[in-house]
Structure 1
Amino acid sequence: MAYATYEHRGVRRVGEVQGSTLVPLDGLTEIGAATTSEILTNADRNARGSVDIDAVTVLPVVPKPSKVFCVGLNYREHVTETKRELPTYPVLFPKYAASLIGAYDDIVLPPESTQVDYEGELAVIIGRAGRRIPEADALDHVLGYTVANDITMRDFQYKTHQWMQGKAWDASTPIGPFLVTPGALDLSSAGIRTVLNGEKVQESDLSMLIFSIPRLIADISTFTALTPGDVILTGTPGGVGYRRDPQLFLKDGDYVTVEIDGVGMVRNRIRVEANS
């Protein structure tokens, strides 16, 4: 199954994706801290309220997560292009709920940065709370999967050896459009690709992750409890703009998409920030 958090005529709802329509789930206004697999499965479907997907505003799958974890250097090709050694423990950094935008929203270039980069990624949404989760049990805590573009301001990222100031900009990270439940797909070798203005700039598959999804959940839950609605961005393949020769950064008027087989696609126009 697949679900979306959306807004239609000023009302926020959660809908089940059925072809090109969304069927509202009664009593649910967003996927978040109170959303478990059981709640999604057992909610009444309001077929009379069905609406065409093209007629709604698709919001971030989880609009207000309590925690957003991001993983760096999780594909061998990306590690190679950065000229770093393979990590033995996941490289982790945070984003915030304020960083997230919808799957089709514009990505706005901030005036402070001239090196805005793309990073296509799979995102994991937690659906069952846990602390110190054994790796063998980790997938039982997954609500579903979605697509993200970990937009990065490289000139800010490398101001220090910590990355947060380049990663956690407000309204910078598209995520969605749908939450796809684990039983609906096989991620073992699903393809992931990023396309910029019709040119494929990243391509890999999820079998190439250095740290698996169960390993990431186990490691993260060692130091903090995971709760429903928490988000884990699992890392990007090689081909990022900063590591190309010549370098390739996002500019006004560009279109960038990230697609993962069986999960979906985020598609965004790039524009400059309007003068206030």
Structure 2
Amino acid sequence: MGRGDLRDDEWARLEPHLPQSVGRGGRWKCHRRVINGILFRLRTGIPWRDLPPRFGKWQTVYSRHRRWAADGTWEKILRAVQAAADPADRLVSLVSVDSTVCRAHQHAAGAQKRAPRFPGLRRPPAQHRPDEALGRSRGGLSCKIHLASEGGRRPLAFLLTPGQWGDAPQMVEVLERVRVPRPGGGRARTRPDRLCADRAYSSRRNRRYLRRRQIKHTIREPKNQRANRRRRGSAGGRPCGFDRPAYRRRNEVEHTILALKGFRAVATRYEKRAYVFHGTVAVAAIRLWLRS
């Protein structure tokens, strides 16, 4: 076993959730070796063609990663690992949201404008975006990861957007992606007990959404919004509640972001297609759950 490969206990947790067939009665081969190759590239960020020979053909490793990113297999595995790690049904008791910008390598540019065609899929991949989640700023091409994290500093859900997009408009969609299946069956957990976020997520739309879903929230109110509310008097509404002890735990999502960007293939985006990079971030999230 090489450095960074799956340990026996991690493989025992992951193996039951992997697909076994590949259509027409065929079966996948060498799951563990291929996944170790994907993890090696995730950790080092090297080109796929430079994978060491001990992982087999690089085409096999890349094609399996791309296929599972296209058909949503990585997302299904992530949810299965989350459900197995939540026997007490307490993962979504406290959720924090934040975002981080990932610089895009020059090789990430130049994707064809038409939707990607993938063998075996009748429609484009679920995570395909026409803009490929790439945006231009003063620093060049960039991509932004909007993340929802639980109290144990493990990712629950994430969303990719161009790097110049704001944080507040994406909060609702990130929370809509939180879906932790219950180990004993039944409806998945989708509503956190409490949400923590910084002042970038303070908006009437977000607070209205959280109140409608009966989610307690601790979001710091910016000075300009506070001054505007006071200027309007009684028409401005009541002051927003703020739980300072709960807000101290907001930094847990920042620690989760640091753990995700510890993988070089996440800290710098090399993929042209957004759905392939989405699969890369999902593999990093699965790795964090297996380590916990």
Instruction: Report the TM range for the smaller structure's normalisation.
Output: under 0.3
TM-score normalized with structure 2 length: 0.19
Higher strand share: 1
- TM-score of the two chains, using structure 1 as the length reference: 0.20
Structure of larger gyration radius: 2
